[in-house]
Amino acid sequence: MNKIQRQIYESEGRRAEDFAASWLRFRGYKILERRYKTREGEIDLIARKGQVLACIEVKQRSKASDAQEAVGYSSEQRIMNSAEIYVAANPELLNEDFELRFDIIYVIGKWRIRHILDAFRNY
């Protein structure tokens, strides 16, 4: 992938994350972090709604089947390891009763969203 293709790919990814974040806010989630980076990897979005703390992977593809294939075991491990680091870095969470959940948001085409709650239980 050349530099221009990489920039286009990254800008499309940011646009999908922006769309997903707006969609989540509309549904009552508070976005706590975007592109949370750790030594283990990155979590696209960390959001909270009530007692749920959701670590969310966002994938944009033109077809739903392509989006589903884009998240695999290594993505799951990266996000789960990064979530452990996030919780440890935010000790106020340890004083609360919360559910840590791992979701996936597929952005299909430009405007269709499919939100998979607790996605990693199915892997």
Average pLDDT over residues 6-30: 82
Residue range(s) defining the domain that contains residue 85: 3-122
Q: 31-54 pLDDT, tens per residue?
A: 999 999 999 999 999 999 999 999
Q: 77-119 pLDDT, tens per residue?
A: 899 999 999 999 998 887 778 889 999 998 988 788 999 899 8
**What is the domain-level CATH number for residue 32?**
3.40.1350.10
pTM: 0.84
The beta strands (E) that lie in 1-123 are given as 30-37, 42-49, 52-61, 99-108, 112-116
The pair of three-digit structure tokens given for residue 96, joined into one six-digit string:
């609360």
| 8 pLDDT more than 80 | no
* Count of structural domains within the chain: 1
CA pair distance 105, 91, nearest whole angstrom: 27
In whole angstroms, what separates CA 114 from the centre of its chain? 12
